[in-house]
């Protein structure tokens, strides 16, 4: 099974990519989107979102990163893709799934799924603009307001030359509300002749195996589930190599535990390392740095009671020095 780490705007940036890929189990990452809106971006704009480009396009632990572009103008996207390609990403990904109102208002993200012709024009223009050996992939939702055109959009993407398609198994209107409609991903997979990756509502091993069964996909993309349980990818890899009977489909989020799932004793040093990386970021104002740590701890509370306690203690602390001291004490 191939496991990808999802892009999550405002959460899963290069700092958290670094930490989560240290745990293991992730085969490839996709960056947060780089917004393209009418101009040819300077190299620094790409490097700000994907600093891994300075290091061979890989995270510190060696996991390749595919850079994601978001926009609605085929010509402008192609020009930016060509410039981005010179920086050496492990592929270029196109965003047809963002549900944000500000993005959709300008015709980008999931709004493009109402216009399969424009989707095809974007993929085709980008494919022609970058070297043939550089993969071009896309991520889409099942649709904008409905999933009626899901297969049509997928065929447009594949027919225009994309090498891979990730499908978030919900429409924009369904946002992030459960369930995810993994069986609809199977419909897409049956229609196209390129690899399809299933994404959406994979919180634990049972979810992953069920998603694989219903979608028919042997590649999955993990987002919020991996952020809240950094051992999830390792657990899925272990379960996929053993008997599915080891996994109880009745458990809720994080109910399935296997020997490779990371415990708090291993996770706490990674939380501390994350804080060190956040502290070192020159592009992040000091007053905003504590918020990044608390944001991740808030997600970790879903699976780790110790994170719940630590979040409660740090929630009212804004002094970076006190946070560093508190983390050191909590690790003893």
Per-domain boundaries in the chain: 2-246, 264-330
Highest mean pLDDT, choosing among 62-66, 254-258, 282-286, 306-310: 62-66
d(CA 213, CA 223): 19
Q: What is the mean pLDDT of residues 259-276?
A: 87
Q: Which of 29, 76, 98, 211 is catalytic?
A: 98
Rounded mean pLDDT of 218-227? 97
Q: What is the pLDDT of residues 278-298, one digit of tens each?
A: 999 999 999 999 999 999 999
pTM above 0.85, yes or no: yes
pLDDT tens per residue across span 180-197: 999 999 999 999 999 999
Model confidence at 1, pLDDT cuts 50, 70, 90, reads confident
pLDDT at position 177 over 80: yes
What is the reported pLDDT for 261? 66
The average confidence (pLDDT) of the chain is 92
Question: CATH number of the domain at 2-246, please?
Answer: 3.20.20.70
pLDDT over 90 at 159, yes or no: yes
The CATH class of 264-330 is mainly alpha
* Three-state DSSP state, 16: helix
Segment holding 180, helix H or strand E: none
pLDDT in tens, 25-52: 999 999 999 999 989 999 999 999 999 9
Residue 99 has pLDDT above 60, yes or no: yes
Identify the burial level of 293 via C-beta atoms within 10 angstroms of its C-beta, where 0-12 means exposed, 13-18 middle and 19 or more buried. buried
How many CB atoms neighbour CB 191 within 10 A?
A: 14
Does the annotation mark 211 as catalytic? no
CA separation, residue 228 to residues 16, 90, 202 (Å): 12, 26, 11
Do the beta carbons of residue 151 and residue 183 sit within 8 Å?
no
Task: Give the confidence band of 332 by pLDDT, cuts at 50, 70, 90.
Answer: low
Question: pLDDT for 100-127, tens place per residue?
Answer: 887 887 788 999 999 999 999 999 999 9
The pLDDT score that the predictor gives to residue 259 is 42
Tokens 């502290």, residue located: 279
Give the integer Cα–Cα distance in Å for 109 and 94: 9
- Residue 46 and residue 57: Cα distance in Å, rounded? 12
């Amino acid at each position: 099974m191939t496991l990808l780490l999802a892009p999550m705007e405002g959460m899963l940036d290069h700092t958290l990519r670094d930490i989560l890929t240290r745990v293991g189990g992730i085969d490839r990452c996709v960056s947060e989107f780089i917004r393209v809106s009418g101009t040819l971006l300077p190299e620094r704009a790409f490097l700000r979102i994907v600093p891994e480009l300075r290091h061979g396009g890989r995270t510190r632990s060696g996991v390749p990163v595919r850079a994601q572009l978001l926009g609605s103008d085929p010509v402008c996207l192609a020009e930016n893709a060509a410039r981005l390609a010179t920086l050496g990403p492990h592929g270029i990904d196109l965003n047809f799934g963002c549900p944000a109102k500000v993005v959709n208002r300008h015709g980008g993200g999931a709004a493009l799924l109402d216009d399969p012709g424009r989707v095809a024009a974007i993929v085709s223009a980008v494919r022609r603009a970058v070297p043939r050996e550089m993969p071009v992939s896309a991520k889409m939702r099942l649709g904008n307001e409905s999933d009626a055109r899901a297969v049509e959009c997928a065929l447009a993407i594949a027919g225009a030359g994309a090498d891979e398609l990730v499908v978030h198994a919900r429409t924009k209107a369904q946002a992030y509300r459960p369930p995810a409609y993994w069986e609809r991903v199977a419909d897409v997979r049956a229609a196209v002749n390129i690899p399809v990756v299933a994404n959406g509502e994979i919180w634990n091993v049972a979810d992953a195996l069920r998603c694989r069964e219903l979608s028919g996909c042997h590649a999955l993309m993990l987002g919020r589930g991996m952020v809240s349980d950094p051992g999830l990818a390792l657990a899925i890899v272990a379960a996929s190599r053993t008997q599915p009977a080891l996994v109880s489909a009745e458990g809720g989020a994080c109910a399935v535990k296997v020997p490779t799932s990371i415990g708090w004793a291993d996770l706490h040093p990674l939380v501390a390392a994350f804080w060190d990386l956040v502290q070192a970021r020159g592009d992040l104002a000091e007053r905003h740095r504590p918020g990044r740590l608390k944001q991740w701890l808030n997600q970790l509370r879903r699976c780790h009671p110790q994170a719940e306690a630590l979040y409660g203690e740090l929630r009212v602390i804004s002094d970076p020095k006190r946070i560093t001291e508190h983390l050191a004490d909590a690790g003893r």
